[in-house]
Amino acid sequence: MKLCIVVGTRPDIIKLSPVIRYVSENNIDFFVIHTGQHYSYNMDKLFFEELGLPQPKYNLGIGSKNHGEMTGVMLIGIEKILLEENPDMVLVLGDTNSTLAGVLAATKLHIKVAHLESGLRSYDKKMPEEINRIVADHLSDYLFAPTSISYGNLIGEGLSREKIMISGNTIVDALIKNLEISNDKSKILEQLSLKPKDYFLLTIHRPENVDDKDLLQTIFESLELVYNEHKIRFLFPVHPRTKKNIEKFNLKIPYFVKMIDPLGYLDFIQLQNHARLVFTDSGGIQEESCILKVPCVILRDHTERVEALEVGSSILAGLNKEKILEATSKMLTINNSWENPFGDGNSSMKIIKYLINKVNN
């Protein structure tokens, strides 16, 4: 089997790192296309270096564009590479524009497509990610649902059981391997003068949250209510898009929020692992905090990671100030003995063995 793996963002790199490592160690013919959707050193290249992965064979260097233009340019670039390389299968993950472009390019060339992290649904079509993941699921040949809930979503949309495997989520594989490395190598708490469980970790990056001045201001005002109630400071690794908009809107960062540049994965794992609570609009961080047994307040009205809600590791707060304060108080008192619902850490091996069997039979 000759395999093409398409990545585009930091979460793609993290979640596909154990897949790339497995195919590399088992001498499976593969190559990686990086679209460059995340394009700063700290947002992509550093992750390949830290995780000990080979640099991508191709990097399209797309950068920041509007959704339609970005997807179109990616589609052109990926199609040219697929025509030249002629792989047996294209493997994509998740719900990004890179995912959508990879699926469309491969499907139009009649190349089989495997979609990891299939079946996630927020049922909020205002989110571009929801559109991407629905299209990817309905065009792909092999669907790897992380849990029984995502499996049920796919069946409910009329997709064939023959195409679906419940595989767990490769984020568990990545965390198990990299947490131990991070414990040994990262000194980020000492560098930032932080004590374990003595800070809240904040990440916000979704366009619907950070592209609107009033909503972004509401988030900071909500954090002020939380700080006044609990007297715990916030650490805020700021996404490039968020930083740009903070500057554009001339917003003042509250004194109890420490804003820092994006971090490498090993450092970020440590910050998550030792945070008192995580506040985020990121889907992947909801999963990671659940696996790490760190409670999470979700700064969104909907989530496609309902498994974390069901086990009690996360709570939806939206962008309502009173709800965020109430959610914080609740999550500070919960028992973090929940079961990890996202898999056993062997998802990458299961997925690749399944695909090899399908190609060879």
Residues with catalytic roles: 205
Q: Which two tokens stand for residue 121?
A: 């649904």
- The DSSP bridge partners found for residue 280 are 203, 298
DSSP H helices, the chain, are: 10-25, 45-50, 67-85, 97-108, 128-139, 148-156, 170-185, 188-191, 207-210, 213-230, 240-248, 265-274, 283-292, 306-311, 321-331, 347-360
Q: Which two tokens stand for residue 259?
A: 């804003």
Phi, psi (deg, nearest 5) at residue 112: -60, 145
Task: Measure the CA–CA gap between 186 and 201, rounded to whole angstroms.
Answer: 17
CB 199 within 8 A of CB 165: no
Task: Measure the CA–CA gap between 104 and 296, rounded to whole angstroms.
Answer: 34
| DSSP code, position 121 | -
